[in-house]
Structure 1
Amino acid sequence: MFWADVIADKLLKDRKEEKYVIATGITPSGHIHIGNARETLTGDAIYKALKEKADAELIFIADTYDPLRKRYPFLPEEFEEYVGMPLSEIPCPEGCCKSYADHFLNPYLESLDDLGVELKVYKADENYKKGLYDEKIRIALEKRDKIREILNKFRDNPLDDSWFPINVVCEKCKNLKTKVIGYEGEEVYYRCEKCGHEGKVKPYKGKAKLPWRVDWPARWSIFNVSIEPMGKDHAAAGGSYDTGYLIAKEVFNYNPPMKVVYEWIQLKVGDKAIPMSSSKGVVFAVKDWTYVAHPEILRFLILRSKPSKHIDFDMKKIPDLVDEYDRLEEFYFENRDKDLDEDGKEKIRIYEFSTPRIPEKKPFVIPYRFCSIIGQLAYEDNNINMNKVFEILKRNNYNIDEIDEFSLKRLKDRLIMARNWALKYGEKLIIISDDEAKKEFETLKDKQKEWIRYFAERLENVNFDALTIHELIYETAKEIGLNPRDAFQAAYKILLGKKYGPRLGAFLASLGRDFVIKRFSMF
């Protein structure tokens, strides 16, 4: 059974509500990466499973009122002065958006439409300024002793009696590095630890903010949250969920949401897998995903595994990931109307949840790795020459008459994406010059030279398609007593200047008869 269905069924059993609210969110302090997207897509999968059986809503709360904790490596030196200020009040680092928060948040929200995610967005700064938190702030101040008691259960260094569960936004420097020094009636007295200003304010309508461990349970009760995915750091023993659970029940009189803990997505860098981190610059931004692959491939990467399973993400393995998705899509269209076992049913669900816009019939598919070759060979004048693409496909035994409008659009996109991937992460296809080919030819063994000349002769009289060429490579090598592996290496050497390359039969067919015969006959 698909994991999102299991979670949805458990929630419906354990919690009876008129509407089930799934909450997700992020602090837009830097580039929002695909590790962050795991939370949103996990919430989206639960939402899609729930709404088949009950009224449900998916919300996204952007923590735009959180402070900038430090000047990150990607920020200029002048941003040092903004450390401690709410992200929504800091200027955009590139001058293109309303604020620092919007600069990093907007591209992510725009990408969610491509990912097929439907949700309602709330921004924390707007929530505070509209007064959504006012009642919770009042309760937190009145019950600060209870909150401090709860937090101290999990602290090595207990909070003292002077602690208040609130951070005032300094009226002078707009910083959250403030300390409340008194509370009387509707006003709090505070001192700014950055500029030294002292003052008093009514801590409502955005004049103050609850610290994270109090803010989180407060928002659960504000938005009636039923369930929330969370990183394993929040869910660790003594973490913010444990304290939030108690604060929600004992301070805000709210039944805490069910937690769904997800593991990190680690970015493979060489032989190492490193957890993604915006602050450390170890990221692959969600906004950049469609540069290399369709959105459903990202959904598949994340949703095929249970949230509790960590994911190693290697950009060099994108073709393998797309191949897996293509096989799943083929399975779906061949089996969706059949009576399947549990494993088969789960595969169908994974495809359905990975693919927000399922086509009416099985699309015409060209493997991603092959598209990375075609995309490079057919790229002319800053675009893909589709006439050249069709010629290459026909020589590779594809029936292009089967390409419908949907498949054609997806093929064009995949050609561009796969080319982008190849140029940045994969194999750049650089055909060496005639002069370089002659030099490479001289480095070959005599038997390899003999094969190249013999193969060139035989090419003259065969159909120039991938399958025929593939068979001819093995046939001619065998006839002169050459190991086929040595034949492949010889061909790659005079074409690419190295001992390896794309599948040779398909590659030669893609290059075209005239070029291949000319290159193999020049020695």
Structure 2
Amino acid sequence: MQPWISRVAEELKARGDHPLVFSTAKTPSGPIHIGFGRELVYCDVLSKMLEAEGWRAVWVFFVDDFDSLKAFPPGIPSDFASQSEYLGRPMYMVPCPYGCCENWSRHFAGEMLKTLPSFGFNPKVYWTHEVYGWNEMKALVRKALIEREKIRNILLEVVTPTLDGKRLEAFKREMEDWYPCLVVCENCGRLMTTKVLGYDPESDLVSYQCQACNHKGEVKLAAWPVKLRWRIDWPAKWALFKVSCEPAGKDHCVKGGAYDTGERILAEVFEGKPPVRIPYEWILLGARAMKTHKGIAFTFTEWLKTAPPEIYRYIILREDPKKHIAFSPERIPQLIDEFERLEAIHFKAEKPSNPVEEALAENVYPLCFPERPPAERPARLPYRFAIILSQLEPLLGKEKVKAKALQVLEKLGGRRPSAQEISEALVRLSLAEYWVANYAEESFKIEITEKVSSEVKASLTEGERAALKELIQMLESKEWGEEELQYQIFELGKKLGIGTKIFQAVYKVFLGRNFGPRLAPFLLSLEKEFVIQRLKEAAREG
């Protein structure tokens, strides 16, 4: 167990909440990225751990579809994105841009929600606009309106010290006639552009003006969509659901941020106990922070097309929440290698190289699986081998590729693989195929030439030809393992005085270029007779 997880678990147990309620939320302003998933992993791990100790845990997830659509992310069809009247409306009131779902939020949230079980996430999902229709939530909106001055003073006390200059002046001006909620305009349907002018508790009427269409009106709070502003919406949900813990991104947890104001408003207005906060850093896509509304995203759906879900949980759990995670899809093979080394260490098949690796194998590895961790070390088709095999279908045919994969699986596992292991190996072939097509660098891509060209033959030196001849003898002498063969090819190059040029020579013979995937698994993935005949053809003089 990571030390911070144990610390948070003890803090939650000390609260004495029955049940312990975990909360997460996401605004579906576009394709939802994996950066948001840190809080999903944390809530899943903590809730399951506490349930195993006899505590009752509930996990709620809010799709914040009552939030306004502020911009169209890249990739939205141009004819839809030209309809600016949708901007400013609550997302549940914006049509689906592709015409396939009930509305905007159902489309983008739905894409993510259907992937959650694959990662082991099973929260109770609430659509925020529906929650705002509940009598209990309406009562909290009324309370916020009645306690407007108290909330306003809290915001001034908490936020003002963190601002200066023009930002401070603008904030003070905004707070002069500030109200804690927004109203959906009866005329244009926008939410973001409305300004509340007053509230009469006796009649339950909220008066407002829309700054987009200039419509003025009054609506009955009980019967019309009225939404709390973000800094008040959050503590209202904490109060309504009696939330015990909610992780949040670092931007919300800074001094004067939404978490600070939320805790004060919850305690002083809604009379609740602030939840345990888990601040977390962002996951970067390359060097950029992922942003749903800007289209900077690697989605959960995309992850499941390229890698197993346990690898995603691994990259989250291996790091402290306060450390950022730099992710790029190009590194997926490396991440899978890392995870499978931890697996080998966990099952005592390999020794850890340092205490950190040992701790990860012991404490983090079991938490990475969507369901229960395996009781014994699984037989796995190495992802890098799958990368090569998945590209050999034009040469070998689909059935031979599958047969080769299962042969490798049985050889590495040292036993007949189970039905589940076979199924996972075949899935891995398709994951690797997708990764190659969409994210692989050129060195991973394979297109075997029909024959050794005359140009390649002419380019081979005497030393390289001699190396190819000895390599033929090596391959004919025995059945090789991947690591042993890789090492012996390297040693052969050293012995003949050509060093790594032996690798370049073999790549040219098969691929027509002097680079390629890791050589030993590449050669072992091909039919042995084909490899030997191709090397003989290249080594032949004249």
CA contact (8 A) 1:464 1:513 kept: no
- Comparing 65-74 and 141-150, the one that deviates more: 65-74
Distance, in Å, in 2 between the alignment partners of 1:477 and 1:115 is: 45
**Cα distance, 1:283 vs structure 2:** 1.1
**Cα distance, 1:511 vs structure 2:** 1.4
Q: Secondary structure at the match of 2:101?
A: coil
Distance, in Å, in 2 between the alignment partners of 1:307 and 1:493 is: 46
Distance, in Å, in 2 between the alignment partners of 1:360 and 1:498 is: 44
TM-score (norm 2): 0.87
The answer for the alignment partner of 1:17 in structure 2 is 17
Q: Secondary structure at the match of 2:115?
A: helix
The answer for the alignment partner of 1:301 in structure 2 is 315
CA contact (8 A) 1:131 1:205 kept: no
Is 1:312–2:329 an aligned residue pair? no
- Runs of 5+ consecutive residues of structure 1 not aligned to the other structure: 336-340
Is 1:363–2:381 an aligned residue pair? no
Q: Secondary structure at the match of 2:178?
A: coil
CA contact (8 A) 1:125 1:206 kept: no
- Runs of 5+ consecutive residues of structure 2 not aligned to the other structure: 161-167, 350-354
Q: Which of residues 439, 449, 456 is equivalent to 1:432?
A: 449
The answer for the alignment partner of 2:305 in structure 1 is 291
CA contact (8 A) 1:374 1:392 kept: no
Letter in structure 2 aligned against 1:509 = L
The answer for the alignment partner of 2:66 in structure 1 is 65
The answer for the alignment partner of 1:338 in structure 2 is none
Structure 2 matches for 1:88-237, cutoff 5 A?
Answer: 88-153=92-157, 154-155=159-160, 156=168, 157-158=171-172, 159-176=174-191, 177-184=193-200, 185=202, 186-237=204-255
Identical columns (%) = 36
Give the aligned CA root-mean-square deviation in angstroms.
Answer: 2.5
Distance, in Å, in 2 between the alignment partners of 1:404 and 1:454 is: 38
Distance, in Å, in 1 between the alignment partners of 2:343 and 2:487 is: 30
Distance, in Å, in 1 between the alignment partners of 2:399 and 2:126 is: 40
CA contact (8 A) 2:342 2:357 kept: no
Letter in structure 2 aligned against 1:27 = T
Distance, in Å, in 2 between the alignment partners of 1:152 and 1:477 is: 72
CA contact (8 A) 1:5 1:49 kept: no
CA contact (8 A) 1:25 1:40 kept: no
Cα distance 1:242–1:413, how it changes in 2: closer, same or farther (>3 A)? same
The answer for the alignment partner of 1:518 in structure 2 is 533
Letter in structure 2 aligned against 1:321 = L
Give deviations 1:262-302, integer Å, cap 9, x for gaps.
0000111xxxx111112222210111111111111111111
**Cα distance, 1:356 vs structure 2:** 2.3
Give deviations 1:11-57, integer Å, cap 9, x for gaps.
222x2222111111100111111101112112222222322332211
CA contact (8 A) 2:464 2:498 kept: no
Distance, in Å, in 2 between the alignment partners of 1:474 and 1:193 is: 72
Distance, in Å, in 2 between the alignment partners of 1:382 and 1:151 is: 64
Q: Secondary structure at the match of 2:207?
A: strand
**Cα distance, 1:183 vs structure 2:** 2.0
Q: Secondary structure at the match of 1:284?
A: coil
Q: Secondary structure at the match of 2:256?
A: coil
TM-score (norm 1): 0.90
Give deviations 1:112-141, integer Å, cap 9, x for gaps.
100011211111011112334100111011
Letter in structure 2 aligned against 1:463 = K
The answer for the alignment partner of 2:5 in structure 1 is 4
CA contact (8 A) 1:128 1:204 kept: no
The answer for the alignment partner of 1:81 in structure 2 is 85
**Cα distance, 1:438 vs structure 2:** 2.8
Is 1:449–2:465 an aligned residue pair? yes
The answer for the alignment partner of 1:41 in structure 2 is 41
CA contact (8 A) 1:150 1:247 kept: yes
Distance, in Å, in 2 between the alignment partners of 1:330 and 1:461 is: 31
Give deviations 1:188-238, integer Å, cap 9, x for gaps.
111111222221111235521111011111111000001110000000111
CA contact (8 A) 1:378 1:389 kept: no
